[in-house]
């Protein structure tokens, strides 16, 4: 079964805690509420999430908005996706419970944020059979959602590198899912002891660990996902590397530790960008900004990089843009940059 594809460019926000106002909801096409929980027995939580209860208000502000609940493994049950996906009975129970939650709350669908099938390094318990089982789980959920009145959506958040392509059946998933939120952020993160861009549009040629939004989107497209079903991810927060050499403005310098989380965009603008010893630099090749103060390197998205991402998505025929996470910029500047440029 192949889901319908909309020509409209999507602009999606992951929204968890924090304020949400009318101005912002009017600019969005989709909201993914973070998070509901999946348990090992196939039961689910999330119906009482504060943002689920805001559904009537969201639709009052924007009658066309589509709102999904994004599911992660319930706290303390790191193997819940793997366990539920490999058992036929649990797959069906999971699917029925998710569909029932959608029906009872009035949501427009389900988003799955399993990070990641087959990959144990994120602290999840997994197995090699996750690759095929994930497809079966998505198929079961899609079938249950299709029984509900109206068109209900099923989407996933996906890791933006070769490992995810190897650990999933993307060509089959593409026929089941409405779209994929490709997490083109944390491309440099705690796994990388090299200070660099964590959400750059293109790779810098001097980077020995090449990855970028462009590379990831092309990789998924070549693996069988139509361009219109791929959404590029944007970061409303920063990553930082500390105690690195004062060379090349800190870019692509070795660090003893991986890149931890840095400030969200709002405090970045207030206290870091060309302030308190930090200087903003622009990598023309990567189309990405960064900050350096002589020993600490910060990678992030800003209005300029987001404008370039939106232009890329429009010109290359991809499905749209999304960002993590809404609360990181309550000024609305970053969302406005995405909105202006994707409409343009």
DSSP 9-72: PEEEEEE-SS---HHHHTT-SEEEEEEEEE-TTS-EE-TT-TTGGGHHHHHHH-TT-EEEEEEE
> 174 with 224: CB under 8 angstroms?
yes
Q: Is the pLDDT of residue 1 over 90?
A: no
Specify the CATH superfamily of domain 10-236+299-343.
Answer: Glycosidases (3.20.20.80)
Residues identified as active-site: 115
Angstrom distance (rounded) from CA 225 to CA 289: 29
Radius of gyration of the chain (CA): 20
| pLDDT over 70, % of the chain | 98
Q: Which long-range contacts (CB under 8 A, 24 or more apart) does 253-257 make?
A: 253/194, 253/195, 253/297, 254/193, 254/194, 254/195, 255/193, 255/194, 255/195, 255/297, 256/193, 257/193
Closest CA to 198 of 235, 164, 230, 231: 235
Measured distance CA(80)–CA(124) in Å, rounded:
9
- Least Cα distance to 73 among 41, 104, 47 occurs for 41
Ranges of each domain in the chain: 10-236+299-343
Taking a C-beta distance cutoff of 8 angstroms, is the pair 49, 33 a contact? Answer: yes
* pLDDT, mean over the chain: 96
pLDDT tens digits, residue range 270-310? 999 999 999 999 999 999 999 999 999 999 999 999 999 99
d(C-alpha 182, C-alpha 109), whole Å: 18
Tell me if residue 136 falls in helix, strand or coil: helix
| pLDDT tens for each residue of 154-193 | 999 999 999 999 999 999 999 999 999 999 999 999 888 9
Percent of the chain with pLDDT over 90: 93
pLDDT value, residue 7: 56
- The pLDDT value given to residue 298: 98
Q: What is the pTM of this model?
A: 0.96
Q: How many residues does the chain have?
A: 344
């Amino acid at each position: 079964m192949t889901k319908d594809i909309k020509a409209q460019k999507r602009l999606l926000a992951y929204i968890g805690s924090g304020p949400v106002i009318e101005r912002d909801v009017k600019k969005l096409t989709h909201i993914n509420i973070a998070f509901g929980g999946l348990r090992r027995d196939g039961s689910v939580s999330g119906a009482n999430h504060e943002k689920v209860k805001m559904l009537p208000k969201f639709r009052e502000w924007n009658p066309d908005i589509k709102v999904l609940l994004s599911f992660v493994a319930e706290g303390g049950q790191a193997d819940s996706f793997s366990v539920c996906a490999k058992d036929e009975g649990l797959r069906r129970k999971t699917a029925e419970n998710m569909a029932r939650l959608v029906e009872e709350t009035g949501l427009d669908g389900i988003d799955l944020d399993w990070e990641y099938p087959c990959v144990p390094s994120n602290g999840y318990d997994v197995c090699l059979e996750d690759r095929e089982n994930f497809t079966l789980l998505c198929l079961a959920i899609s079938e249950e959602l299709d029984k509900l009145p109206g068109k209900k959506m099923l989407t996933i958040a996906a890791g933006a590198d070769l490992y995810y392509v190897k650990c999933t059946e993307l060509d089959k998933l593409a026929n089941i899912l409405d779209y994929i939120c490709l997490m083109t952020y944390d491309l440099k993160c705690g796994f990388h002891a090299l200070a660099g861009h964590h959400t750059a549009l293109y790779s810098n040629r001097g980077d020995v660990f090449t990855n970028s939004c462009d590379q990831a989107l092309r990789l998924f497209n070549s693996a069988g996902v139509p361009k219109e079903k791929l959404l590029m991810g944007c970061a409303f927060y920063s990553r930082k590397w500390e105690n690195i050499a004062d060379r090349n403005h800190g870019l692509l310098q070795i660090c003893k530790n991986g890149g931890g989380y840095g400030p969200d965009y709002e405090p970045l603008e207030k206290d870091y960008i060309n302030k308190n010893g930090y200087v903003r630099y622009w990598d023309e090749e990567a189309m990405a900004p960064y900050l350096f103060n002589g020993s600490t390197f910060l990678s992030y998205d800003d209005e300029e990089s987001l404008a370039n991402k939106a232009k890329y998505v429009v010109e290359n025929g991809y499905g749209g843009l999304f960002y993590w996470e809404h609360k990181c910029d309550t000024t609305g500047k970053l969302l406005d940059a995405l909105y202006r440029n994707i409409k343009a």
